């Protein structure tokens, strides 16, 4: 996904049992809870545009389609015929989840500003609780850094204590990025989705291959999941790459999906030793389509069911929404 946000936005951006292509990670690695699973053995080794289901999933789960482009196909003209996939424009390409602040919603909205690099993390405080028509936008700024260290690409790891800095209310209505630069707010590498779980705000920092954890009570920012640290890296299969969308899963774990071909779905366990990092990270699923990424992961009322969207699939008319569940269910007929 590539969102170019140039003005302030007040919104927080069949059935089949799998018996092959899945391996158990061992009882000692079983992830407990309603979505109890043994991690899969790795990412897809062969990507294709010929598949029956778009993901490798754990043993004991099944996957079925909710809807795809065979159900909705409005845009029949491809505006970019030079693209690798020569077909009409996908209809269901970018279905992202929206996050607020739980039972206390109405006080704040948290939003990232994704540019190629150098985006900011924002907090909006309404003048009147529950009325988002007016208020003040704040940008996150790490404390004790030089002006150069605040910029994307500096040698500073961009973790540590922070403050929320109020932005010019007139300028944010024109360009929130400019307003953030005026106060030297900290720049991050393509900050994308946000997810609030209790007092922690998680932010996917895509370009840096990590997920940030922002403690809203202590005003401390840590790297919660990082490639080559507490998540696989290098050229190994699997590796943690371009985290994109986030979701709160059953029992408060953080679920993560990547923005890359062959994208994986990960589950970050709790920070058990209170060092600001997940302990540990598990691989739940892997995309098999040669052009697609998973996006917009979401849990509804059923803690046994995960929704995931398939975006810009190489398979024709295959962009759509799918369910991964460990519940017994009958095949959905279309």
Reported as a single tens digit per residue, the pLDDT across 33-70 is 999 999 999 999 999 999 999 999 999 999 999 888 88
Q: What are phi and psi of 208, to 5 degrees?
A: -95, 5
Element (H, E) at 180: helix 176-182
Residues of the chain with pLDDT > 90, as a percent, come to 59
- φ/ψ of 96, rounded to 5, equals -105, 155
Q: What's the gap between Cα 148 and its chain centre?
A: 28
Answer yes or no: is pLDDT of 1 > 80: no
Per-residue pLDDT at 8 exceeds 90 = no
Instruction: Output the pLDDT for position 77.
Output: 55
Cα torsion 266, 311, 72, 75 to 10°: value is: 160
Q: What distance in Å separates the CA atoms of residue 320 and residue 64, rounded to the nearest whole number? A: 11
| Residue 15, φ and ψ in degrees, nearest 5 | -40, 135
**Preceding amide of 238 cis, omega within 30:** yes
Mean pLDDT score of the chain, rounded to an integer? Answer: 81
pTM recorded for the entire structure: 0.81
104 or 275, which is more confident?
275
186 pLDDT higher than 70: yes
Q: Count H helices, E strands: the chain? A: 1, 18
The pLDDT, as a whole number, for residue 130 is 80
């Amino acid at each position: 996904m590539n969102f170019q946000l140039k003005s302030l936005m007040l919104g927080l951006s069949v059935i089949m049992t799998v018996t092959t292509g899945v391996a158990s990670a061992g009882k000692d690695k079983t992830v407990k809870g309603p979505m109890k699973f043994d991690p899969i053995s790795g990412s897809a080794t062969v990507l294709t545009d010929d598949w029956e289901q778009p993901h490798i999933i754990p043993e004991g789960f099944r996957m079925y389609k909710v809807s795809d482009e065979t159900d909705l196909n409005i845009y029949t003209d491809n505006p970019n015929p030079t693209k690798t996939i020569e077909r009409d424009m996908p209809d269901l390409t970018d279905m992202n989840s929206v996050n607020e602040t739980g039972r206390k919603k109405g006080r704040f909205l948290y939003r990232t500003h994704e540019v190629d690099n150098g985006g900011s993390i924002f907090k909006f405080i309404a003048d009147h609780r529950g009325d988002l028509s007016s208020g003040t936008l704040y940008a996150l700024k790490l404390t004790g850094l030089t002006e150069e260290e605040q910029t994307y690409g500096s040698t500073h790891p961009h973790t540590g204590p922070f403050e929320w800095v109020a932005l010019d209310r007139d300028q944010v209505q024109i360009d929130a990025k400019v307003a953030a630069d005026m106060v030297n707010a900290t720049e991050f590498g393509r900050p994308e989705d946000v997810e609030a779980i209790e007092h922690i705000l998680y932010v996917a920092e895509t370009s840096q291959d990590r997920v940030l954890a922002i403690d809203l009570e202590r005003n401390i920012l840590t790297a919660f999941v990082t490639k080559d640290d507490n998540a696989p890296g290098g050229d190994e299969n699997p590796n943690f790459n371009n985290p994109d969308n986030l979701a709160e899963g059953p029992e408060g774990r953080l679920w993560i999906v990547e923005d890359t071909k062959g994208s994986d779905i990960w589950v970050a366990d709790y920070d058990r030793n209170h060092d600001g990092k997940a302990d540990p990270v598990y691989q739940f699923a892997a995309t098999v389509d040669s052009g697609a990424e998973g996006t917009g992961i979401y849990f509804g009322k059923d803690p046994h069911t995960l929704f995931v969207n398939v975006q810009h699939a190489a398979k024709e008319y295959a962009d759509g929404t799918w369910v991964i569940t460990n519940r017994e269910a009958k095949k959905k007929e279309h």
